[in-house]
Structure 1
Amino acid sequence: MSNAYFHIEEPKNEHYLSYAPGTPERDELKKTLTELKKDELEIPAVINGKEIKTDRTIDLHPPHDLNHKLGTVHLCGEKEVKQAIEGALEARQKWAETPWQDRAAIFLRAADIITGPWRSKMNAVTMLAQSKTPHQSEIESVGELADFLRFNAWYLTKIYKDQPYSPDGMWNRVEYRPLEGFVFAVSPFNFTAIAGNLPAAPALCGNVVIWKPSIESVYSSWFVLQALKAAGLPDGVIQFLPGEGADVGDPALESEHLSGLHFTGSEGTFNHLWKTIGKNIDKYRTYPRIVGETGGKDFIFAHNSADIDRLVPATVRGAFEYQGQKCSAASRMYVPKSIWDDFSKKLKAEVKNVKMGDVEDFSNFMGAVISRKAFDKISEYIDYVKESDDAEIIAGGGYDDSKGYFIEPTVVVTTDPKFRTMKEEIFGPVLTIYVYEDEKFEETLDLCDGTSKYALTGAIWARDRYTINHMANRLKNSAGNFYINDKPTGAVVNQQPFGGARKSGTNDKAGSMVNLYRWISMRSIKETYAGPKEFEYPYMGEEK
């Protein structure tokens, strides 16, 4: 039992290293990449701290180098899911009763491991698994992941400290209990940081978690688990179950002990999970908390007063960093006709300078897309544009899978504001631009707001403050993360809490206290010091 209130200092966001030529971190990262590629890793399930191997495996390859084998992963099914749930429930009571400061210490220590002795390792495994450049890997698999772990611990102290008013004669207090049962965490391929935060945030609050990492990035997720284990995470708190979606998801959602879903992934998968939970609602012991971030059709909207020389690099970075495989990546753009000639000329020149290839060559700005499935989907969109009368490709448009899943940064211009690539999520390096008449500025704002079913991120570009305010108000519901004179990507924990509404998710804002509130269940306690000895109230007395 703790006999003190423990204070956690407000964290500072992790500093990013540059990996510029001549820096020690660059040499260390290259050395780590070489060492990791020497070994083939066998990734099992982890249930109650024990490594479980199954009779189904698949091989893992870097998306940019399909001839190299990183290792194999064992896939789970109903048998392993049931074992994991049973083990998690056994671990739950002890974990839930563990003092909050002891839980927090584990995740704070993991953050220091990731940013300290494991820094080059976390970067390297993310580069190999997800074809990220050193910069893209550094800002998320090290910086953002550590920020999640540190700030969540700090947010938890603020939540616990929030207590109700107590009048004379009583003591009112609130305790913040973990949910009953287990939380099912389903993580995406594109961010190691998100893969770590989805199970870690509920676990920090005292919950036990069944974690299904994406098979496409299970290589880096495995090292997240190892970092948590090195920091002292007890067995059974986070059960690690790689597998195909339905093989793990269906039996997990069938359990009466499901208490929450923490999800990042596709809209279709989230809809399926939500429907399944609804179908099973009568069997659950509690109403599951559902938190999800899905897709986006994120926009850049330029006014004719926009600073073109800054708009161009923001567009290139916003659309093509990490091959456009960010939920926040710019994939549609609105440019006024009066600045189009100047902007398009400079944009095409910049896109032409984008270098793409193996991420182990640090001169590359882009790597490969994640998988064969992604490659086929994105290339189909490009072919559709090439055959269309309503759009043309003005930059890029090539793709090649002979060595890896490489797709050029592609810029499409369309005369139809409702063109397919203006509406549908592509999740790749394809940006579609609609050039609007300056006098149709208001009408185009309506198009921007109404074209997509998503509302995740968006950016507006203008100089005049009245115009900026007007655009921001008109697009108030178009994006949960809104940027003024910046690219629509790069949200930082505790600076820009992340999430969107409409079909982009539940907007429970990862990187803020809002998300942690979803993984706790409040209990109000009232203690009376000296209660009444009679049941009568004063109004019941006789009149004189």
Structure 2
Amino acid sequence: MIDKTQLYIDGTWTDGVEGRRMPVINPATEEEAATAAVGTAADCDRAIAAARRAFDSGPWPTMNRIERSELLGRFADELRARLDSLAAAITLETGAPSATVRPVHLLAPLAHLDYYVEQARAPEVTTLPLQVNPRPDGTSWLGGSAQVREPVGVVSAITAYNFPFHLNVAKLGPALACGNTVVLKPSPNTPLTAALMAEAAEAAGFPPGVVNVVNGGADVGALMCTDPRVDLVSFTGSEAVGAAVAAQAAPTIKRVLLELGGKSAMIVRSDADLGAAITMGLGSVMTQSGQGCALTTRHLVHADIYDDYVSGLADRVRAIRLGDPADPSTSMGPLISAAQREKVEGFVDDARAAGSTLVTGGGRPDFARGFFVEPTVFADVDNSTRLAQEEVFGPVAAVMSFRDDDEAIAIANDSNYGLGGAIFSADAGRAFEMARRIRTGQVHINGGSGASPGWDPFGGYKRSGLGRELGEAGIADYSEIKTIKYHAG
């Protein structure tokens, strides 16, 4: 499946200065499936030095934009040539059902990378309007200016385990398109996916030091955030770690991009297509076993259709086929680890104690092995409870009712997070007006557009993060803007 499980630093593969290895655990079997090299702060120091050198004196940041785009395109081609290996690695590492890996975990992010291939070709210099300036003698002179987009420099990219390929592409794509160099630290749970991406980068022919991959723990992450040679930190993960990343980066005044947690609300009005709403509600439970930051885990349903929604959702959730993610008939796999399973079970216990009604699920399936939990639906949830306010990162839905649109919007906004959201209504215009009032980075109306194109920016309000991925906003976050003023005559 994969030939290299080492660190990739300055264009070479290495076991690291201490030669340590870590196990890669299959969450469906709890067995060691492979091992991968573990880097230390010393290895990370070498990677940062390589990235700094590649940016300051290498050909990459000053490369012709067409050449850079072509190289990024070769990277996309090399990734596509490894689709089978990537799919197998993602299922093994994350427990993602094999039937969903290609369309969700691989093909959609590759389409995003194609967008960045095109964006790399965009002109770096934009001429701004000319201005006629009067002189005291009554004559005038012509002045002008140009806006120049330049790379930020060395980028530290730190990613999570739930959608490893997507998250790595979301950082490597815009960073490289703008001419930055990158040190990538993947989740310790998903080193195989990252190694395959490094292998593709090597085959594509990036100059040494442009792409570096270092597995490691807190010491590696801390250096990536504090080192003054790093110009930008892009992090995806929990709110708590995101706050620590921002604090570590603050003394060196480096740019910080944070894609953090969510507790997104799905509003189902009384005139909604109930079946379509239930399907999206099912996805919030089933997709990657609920381990998704933008999933709509709070279901706000109008009182007139509340009982029908709860019973319909429960029926669909009970029909979820839970099991071996390598089996094409499986629709939901395990959680990433025993610790994550215990965390989810703690939320279930708290919800019961808070008076929420357990409709279905709430326990472990009768499997001999694997970090599985049953897909779970709670009804009669109070929005002030822990289940409604904190990110579970597991297959647990919180259903609550509302009487009118203003109440629904108030409940949706009563959250520390603001990443995703959804509205179902036969009145699309009214749904659009409501979407404008919800304090969140993305809202799907009646299921959304059916796709996530590269030009759609993604990111959150409040504690869901800083900055945007994808789209022009994503390019801007990895760029510096310089204004050059000139005297035209």
SS at match of 2:410: helix
Instruction: Give the whole-Å Cα distance in 2 for the aligned partners of 1:237 and 1:185.
Output: 13
Matched, 1:233 2:206: yes
Which among 514, 527, 531 is matched to residue 473 of structure 2? 514
1:2-58: CA deviation from partner (whole Å, max 9, x where unpaired): xxxxxxxxxxxxxxxxxxxxxxxxxxxxxxxxxx3xx8x662212112222134322
Query: 1:236/1:333 Cα in 2 relative to 1: closer, same or farther (>3 Å)?
Result: same
Letter in 2 for 1:391: S
Query: 1:447/1:197 Cα in 2 relative to 1: closer, same or farther (>3 Å)?
Result: closer
Instruction: Give the whole-Å Cα distance in 2 for the aligned partners of 1:264 and 1:160.
Output: 28
Which among 149, 157, 178 is matched to residue 176 of structure 1? 149
8 A Cα contact 1:156 1:513, kept in partner? no
Matched, 1:426 2:392: yes
8 A Cα contact 2:455 2:472, kept in partner? no
8 A Cα contact 1:315 1:330, kept in partner? yes
1:59-114: CA deviation from partner (whole Å, max 9, x where unpaired): 112211223x3311222222112212222222222122222222221221222233
The structure showing larger relative contact order (alpha-carbon pairs under 8 Å, at least 6 residues apart) is 2
Structure 1 residues without counterparts, runs of 5 or longer: 1-35, 282-286, 531-544
Which among 384, 390, 400 is matched to residue 355 of structure 2? 390
1:269-295: CA deviation from partner (whole Å, max 9, x where unpaired): 1100111122x23xxxxx422111100
Which among 152, 157, 175 is matched to residue 185 of structure 1? 157
Moved more, 257-266 or 139-148: 139-148
Q: Which residue of 2 aligns with 1:52?
A: 14
1:25-104 equivalences under 5 Å are 36=1, 43-53=5-15, 54-67=18-31, 69-92=32-55, 93-94=57-58, 95-104=60-69
Q: Which residue of 1 aligns with 2:442?
A: 481
Matched, 1:219 2:184: no
Instruction: Give the whole-Å Cα distance in 1 for the aligned partners of 2:309 and 2:148.
Output: 56
Matched, 1:308 2:281: no
Query: 1:356/1:222 Cα in 2 relative to 1: closer, same or farther (>3 Å)?
Result: same
Matched, 1:353 2:319: yes
Instruction: Give the whole-Å Cα distance in 2 for the aligned partners of 1:169 and 1:422.
Output: 60
Q: Which residue of 1 aligns with 2:73?
A: 108
Letter in 1 for 2:9: I
Give the share of equivalent positions with the same residue, in percent: 24
8 A Cα contact 1:300 1:332, kept in partner? yes
Q: Which residue of 2 aligns with 1:134?
A: 98
1:113-134: CA deviation from partner (whole Å, max 9, x where unpaired): 333x322222222122111123
Instruction: Give the whole-Å Cα distance in 1 for the aligned partners of 2:236 and 2:123.
Output: 24
8 A Cα contact 1:324 1:330, kept in partner? no
8 A Cα contact 2:69 2:121, kept in partner? no
Letter in 2 for 1:270: G
SS at match of 1:261: strand
1:466-495: CA deviation from partner (whole Å, max 9, x where unpaired): 5424422432x2x211011117x9761335
1:116-515 equivalences under 5 Å are 117-158=81-122, 160=124, 162-166=126-130, 172-180=145-153, 182-191=154-163, 192-244=165-217, 246-278=218-250, 280-281=251-252, 287-386=253-352, 388=353, 390-400=355-365, 402-436=368-402, 438=403, 440-450=404-414, 452-465=415-428, 467-475=430-438, 477=439, 479-486=440-447, 492-494=452-454, 496-506=456-466, 508-515=467-474
Instruction: Give the whole-Å Cα distance in 1 for the aligned partners of 2:82 and 2:460.
Output: 32
Q: How far is 1:501 from its partner? A: 1.1
Structure 2 residues without counterparts, runs of 5 or longer: 132-140
Q: Which residue of 2 aligns with 1:29?
A: none
Query: 1:513/1:469 Cα in 2 relative to 1: closer, same or farther (>3 Å)?
Result: closer
Instruction: Give the whole-Å Cα distance in 2 for the aligned partners of 1:330 and 1:461.
Output: 12
TM-score w.r.t. the length of structure 1 is 0.82
Instruction: Give the whole-Å Cα distance in 1 for the aligned partners of 2:188 and 2:34.
Output: 12
Instruction: Give the whole-Å Cα distance in 1 for the aligned partners of 2:261 and 2:388.
Output: 14
8 A Cα contact 2:45 2:223, kept in partner? yes
Query: 1:78/1:465 Cα in 2 relative to 1: closer, same or farther (>3 Å)?
Result: closer
8 A Cα contact 1:459 1:485, kept in partner? yes
8 A Cα contact 1:42 1:71, kept in partner? no
Instruction: Give the whole-Å Cα distance in 1 for the aligned partners of 2:52 and 2:328.
Output: 46
Q: How far is 1:363 from its partner? A: 0.7
8 A Cα contact 1:208 1:237, kept in partner? yes
Mark the structure with the bigger radius of gyration.
Answer: 1
8 A Cα contact 2:116 2:173, kept in partner? no
SS at match of 1:443: helix
Instruction: Give the whole-Å Cα distance in 1 for the aligned partners of 2:381 and 2:166.
Output: 38
Query: 1:362/1:423 Cα in 2 relative to 1: closer, same or farther (>3 Å)?
Result: same
8 A Cα contact 2:258 2:465, kept in partner? yes
Q: How far is 1:403 from its partner? A: 1.3
8 A Cα contact 1:491 1:498, kept in partner? no
Query: 1:523/1:405 Cα in 2 relative to 1: closer, same or farther (>3 Å)?
Result: same
8 A Cα contact 1:156 1:516, kept in partner? no
SS at match of 2:36: strand
8 A Cα contact 2:11 2:202, kept in partner? no
Instruction: Give the whole-Å Cα distance in 2 for the aligned partners of 1:219 and 1:490.
Output: 30
SS at match of 2:330: coil
TM-score w.r.t. the length of structure 2 is 0.91
Instruction: Give the whole-Å Cα distance in 1 for the aligned partners of 2:370 and 2:388.
Output: 27
8 A Cα contact 1:454 1:501, kept in partner? yes
Query: 1:292/1:490 Cα in 2 relative to 1: closer, same or farther (>3 Å)?
Result: farther
8 A Cα contact 2:468 2:477, kept in partner? no
Moved over 6 A (4+): none
Instruction: Give the whole-Å Cα distance in 2 for the aligned partners of 1:188 and 1:175.
Output: 33
Letter in 1 for 2:247: K
Q: Which residue of 2 aligns with 1:534?
A: none
1:397-453: CA deviation from partner (whole Å, max 9, x where unpaired): 1225741111111001135231210111001100011133x3x54234212211x10
RMSD of aligned Cα (Å) = 2.3
Letter in 1 for 2:22: I
SS at match of 1:209: strand
Moved more, 196-205 or 466-475: 466-475
1:341-364: CA deviation from partner (whole Å, max 9, x where unpaired): 222222221111110111111111
1:178-213: CA deviation from partner (whole Å, max 9, x where unpaired): 224x21111111111112331342122121212111
8 A Cα contact 2:260 2:464, kept in partner? yes
